[in-house]
């Protein structure tokens, strides 16, 4: 593994290359492909335009709250969770795993994971394909593009977690600032979070980004 502290650009942003091996990547993908997917008309989140799986807890995108506790995360993810905790990347062991499948032409709108629902660290593991993730400050508009290589883990804490929206474009081909060209292909991401509440209080901003309704639909 190679840990890259991107805190000079955005405090709290870390990227870890080769967080899992090629063999582990293949095993993780095989495990989720053996399990039922949600989205694209299939419950429990049939309205989503991409396929997803959730473990630990069920989060409703439609109602923007946690609906059910499933129990412990599945054993197939134990080695990854143990690695997360051994490197002290989260203050507590994750109790929610969100698996997203992004096919060519699929992305996700800029958003901040709901501060009222999810804990202080958001981690996302990229499998099968690289992508470009854009981070944009919710107030100042300052933005940077970060390449998320295949098998890398991105860690959002502090400023990166609470003040920057993050999103992925729908572009089939992406070009980074350094000239790196990314040909988008199927990508599966594993997002690890700690559920700290089941519902956003009425007075709270659901996504934490103080923006429009479209952003609030993007709670990930």
Query: Exposed (0-12), middle (13-18) or buried (19+): which is 179, by Cβ within 10 Å?
Result: exposed
Distance CA 154, CA 160 (A): 11
Residue 197 clears pLDDT 50, i.e. is over it:
yes
Q: At what angle do helices 78-86 and 22-33 cross, to 10 degrees?
A: 130
Q: Given pLDDT bands bounded at 50, 70 and 90, which one contains residue 205? A: low
CA pair distance 157, 47, nearest whole angstrom = 29
pLDDT in tens, 64-111: 899 999 999 999 999 999 999 999 999 999 999 999 999 998 999 999
Instruction: Kindly report, residue by residue over 112-143, the tens digit of the pLDDT.
Output: 999 999 999 999 999 999 999 999 999 999 99
Over 80: is that where the pLDDT of 218 sits? Answer: no
DSSP 186: -
Domains of the chain (ranges; CATH) run 2-216 (2.60.120.590)
Say how far apart CA 132 and CA 27 lie, in whole Å.
24
């Amino acid at each position: 593994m190679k840990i890259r502290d991107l805190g000079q650009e955005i405090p709290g942003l870390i990227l870890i290359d080769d967080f899992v091996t090629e063999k582990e990547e293949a095993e993780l993908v095989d495990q989720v492909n053996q399990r039922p997917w949600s989205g694209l008309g299939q419950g429990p989140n049939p309205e989503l335009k991409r396929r997803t799986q959730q473990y630990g807890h069920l989060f409703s995108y439609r109602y923007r709250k946690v609906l059910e506790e499933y129990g412990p995360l599945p054993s197939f993810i134990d080695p990854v969770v143990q690695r997360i905790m051994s490197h002290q990347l989260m203050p507590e062991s994750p109790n929610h795993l969100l698996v997203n499948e992004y096919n060519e032409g699929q992305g996700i709108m800029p958003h901040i994971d709901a501060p009222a629902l999810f804990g202080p660290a958001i981690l996302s593991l990229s499998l099968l394909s690289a992508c470009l993730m854009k981070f944009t400050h919710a107030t100042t508009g300052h933005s940077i593009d970060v390449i998320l290589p295949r098998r890398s883990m991105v860690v959002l804490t502090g400023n990166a977690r609470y003040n920057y929206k993050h999103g992925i474009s729908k572009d089939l081909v992406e070009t980074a600032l350094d000239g790196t060209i990314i040909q988008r292909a199927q990508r599966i991401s594993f997002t690890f979070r700690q559920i700290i509440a089941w519902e956003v209080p009425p007075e709270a901003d659901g996504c934490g980004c103080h923006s429009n309704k479209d952003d609030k639909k993007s709670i990930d």
